[in-house]
Amino acid sequence: MFRANITKEQVVDYARKKIAEDPVYLDTETTGLDKTDEIIEIAIVNHLGEIVFSSFIRPSKPIPPAATRINHISNEMVKDSLTWPEIWPAIRPFLVGHPIGMYNAEFDLRMIQQTFNNYRIPLKDKLNAFDIMKIYSDFRGVWDPNRRAMRRFRLEEAGREMGITIPNSHRAADDTMLTRAVFHTIAGFPY
């Protein structure tokens, strides 16, 4: 999957098969994009479209103003929240052993790993993630000659192009619902 010569029908078939596995969907909001940044909000939606987990997470260091401008999450909002080591036991059962759909999975997986690293805790579980951004890129089929790969689209672009009315607010719950809706729309299923 995820190559230049794949057909739209193959992408739709892949999405339908993946949905039949009853995946969960995940999104995070973070303190930034750098190698020491960490998760400050996480949401998980089940295969039925129900939010099964959504929470702020108190980071190990203050949230920079630049991050707050993007995701609108302030230090005040997370000050009474659990830290990552405290909240992971509640998150883990929703993720381990389940396929996990993410929009830009590489980023969210990196942030999960970095957040563990910030607390010097090893991530002992393998997370079975699949990247809906790459799947959507194959579905759209727009070649990017500079990258020599299919063009990547932001989540809000994908949602708008698919006619989905769920907002992209740069908040984890909304973005997770939008991610699921994009994937179900690719498969031709209601969201």
Tell me how far CA of residue 27 lies from CA of 42, 43, 138, 169, in angstroms. Answer: 6, 6, 21, 12
Q: Which domain holds residue 41?
A: 8-187
Residue 1 placed within a domain: no
Report the pLDDT value the prediction gives residue 170, as an integer from 0 to 100: 79
Report the pLDDT value the prediction gives residue 1, as an integer from 0 to 100: 54
Residue 179 placed within a domain: yes
Amino acid in the structure at residue 61: K
What CATH number is given to the structural domain containing 57?
3.30.420.10
Neighbours of 134 (CB within 10 A): 19
Per-position pLDDT tens, the chain of length 191: 555 678 999 999 999 999 999 999 999 999 999 999 999 999 999 999 999 999 999 999 999 999 999 999 999 999 999 999 999 999 999 999 999 999 999 999 999 999 999 999 999 999 999 999 999 999 999 999 998 889 999 999 999 999 998 876 779 999 999 999 999 999 999 99
State how far the Cα of 173 lies from the Cα of 82, in Å rounded to an integer: 18
Residue 3 placed within a domain: no
Residue 39, C-beta contacts closer than 8 angstroms, at least 6 positions apart: 28, 29, 30, 57, 59, 84, 111, 112, 115
For 128, the 3-state DSSP assignment is strand
- Nearest one of 131, 124, 44 to 90, comparing CA atoms: 44
Q: Is the pTM of this model over 0.85?
A: yes
Count of the separate structural domains present in the chain? 1
95 membership: H or E segment, kind and range: helix 84-95
For 64, the 3-state DSSP assignment is coil
Residue 19 placed within a domain: yes
Residue 46, C-beta contacts closer than 8 angstroms, at least 6 positions apart: 22, 24, 25, 52, 94
